Structure 1
């Protein structure tokens, strides 16, 4: 698929979103091969814009909830139309649509995502069932979109990924989301009035969530060697960064403090991932809780 100036400008707009919003994912995407790097940035950009509609920039601008829903609906409709026609006047949507068309990102991947974003407009507390539905749409399908990119970018005919990779992508997405829920719990509860995990004042529940995260991270790590070679280092780095966050959540004395991974540790995680996966050696990117990362 040849790039026009408009296509290149759309991709640059998408890249600016990930640079501004995420140091961790921004670092990981720089480690992707050029075949997939732009596509993953395009996916991230659309996801981030939708998220800003329901709990970020739109709220800060004073946009009422009913108007947030209208804006979100319009973004979803524009996304489907752009995929069908190959063009959008919205640069971020245009970039995503080009990726979806090339890599086989289907409506079945996109609809659950927008459904979860709508949930944020009218659901403040979640039980286990609604949590699982929300996480599937907000995170697992994003992992599946990226997997479509990993498997199909540059191919003339998109194909379905290996079921083991599908499982790994879903579990990695779920782990990432639950880690973010835990580290952002104080802000979600205080600023937005949301409780995704039911961990407020419930130490045992928090420990259960962390155990689930550990299991998801371990299961996802086992599938990284199955990925195309130009994706393994980046995915292993993202896995390692979030595993380090999980380790810090395990060890946190203040459960309301927002844990972070220092930049030197991020660099070390990336180096370990590069050494391990560029030589196709197995690695355990989740640090032992007995040894601070």
Structure 2
């Protein structure tokens, strides 16, 4: 009869629980979508988002609130990236969140080609306050698209003996879904980003972009991503559909507010529950069509 886990198995489970706690504290919507994942990919996706959230918090307020200036934030971020690579190579970290992520990276084939652009975008938040279309696209790739690609690596590789690259059509879908999520969040947080963080990601305040143009791009990205969901492993489709439909709902509500709106738009809990139930029933993402 097997007893309670000990040694590395216990440490792995504890790290995984720590990652799940980060997500439950920071994002009820994401935590809901994660519950729709099958048990094979679920802990790995939580591990990814926990590390992403910790890195994001270094540059998005808590670090500064703790008294870190820009140079200190950069150093903490650099140290976190270095520890991430070390943990992937060694299979262990004293940082529970890094340890959880490294376990996922090793099993699912998440390499430096995805991790490095993410940390690069986090550093951009320390030094860059206004973006043009080119810098926006580079930032979104590192801050959101590669996170989608990390999750895709989990979807296709979790539980497999040897990780392999994801198919190209799924790569495109993951990138476009990540980009849509990020741009929706930028639109929702225009005032906070400007007033609290001094950032303009979209160029709306400088006149290089319009709210309508951004929403058109978001809806095109959501439609392209929706067309790829049916090609995902079955134990991932419900969660991706729920997340897609939540952001499609946000996009619709943002568009309804008009070109000059600044208030933060949210989806009421009963609507979130309806979208989750729809996904649980196995329905296709809203707006899904052949690519």
- Give the alignment's TM-score, normalised by structure 1: 0.93
Offset, 1:3: 6.3
The reply on whether 1:27 has 2:32 as its aligned counterpart is: yes
Residues 240-259 of structure 1 mapped to structure 2, 5 A cutoff: 240-253=245-258, 255-259=261-265
Superposed CA deviations along residues 63-122 of structure 1, whole A, max 9, x for unmatched, are: 111000000000000000000000000000000000000000010000000000000000
Q: How far apart, in 2, do the equivalents of 1:168 and 1:283 lie?
A: 13
Question: What does 1:177-192 correspond to in 2, within 5 Å?
Answer: 177-192=182-197
Report the Cα offset of residue 23 of structure 1.
1.3
Q: How far apart are 1:201 and its partner, in Å?
A: 7.3
Residue 238 (structure 1) aligns with: 243
Indicate the SS of the match to 1:4: helix
Runs of at least 5 residues in structure 1 that lack an aligned partner in the other structure: 287-293
1:98 partnered with 2:103 = yes
How many Å separate the matches in 1 of 2:40 and 2:107? 12
- SS for the counterpart of 2:272 is helix
Aligned to 1:53: 58
Distance across 1 between alignment mates of 2:237 and 2:97: 26
C-alpha displacement at 1:269, in angstroms?
A: 0.4
Unmatched runs of 5 consecutive residues or more in structure 2: 1-6
Name which of structure 1's ranges 109-118 and 198-207 shifts more when overlaid on structure 2. 198-207
How many angstroms does 1:204 deviate by?
Answer: 6.5
Structure 2 equivalent of residue 290 of structure 1: none
Which of 264, 268, 276 is 1:270 aligned to?
276
Give the structure 2 partner of residue 198 of structure 1: 203
Q: CA deviation at 1:56?
A: 2.5
Map of 1:284 onto structure 2? 286
Moved over 4 A (4+): 201-204
TM-score by length of 2: 0.94
Residues 132 and 208, structure 2, Cα contact 8 Å, conserved in 1: no
Q: CA deviation at 1:252?
A: 1.2
User: Any idea what SS the aligned residue of 2:40 has?
Assistant: helix
The separation in 2 between residues aligned to 1:181 and 1:86, in whole angstroms, is 35
1:196 Cα offset (Å) = 0.3
TM-align CA RMSD: 1.5
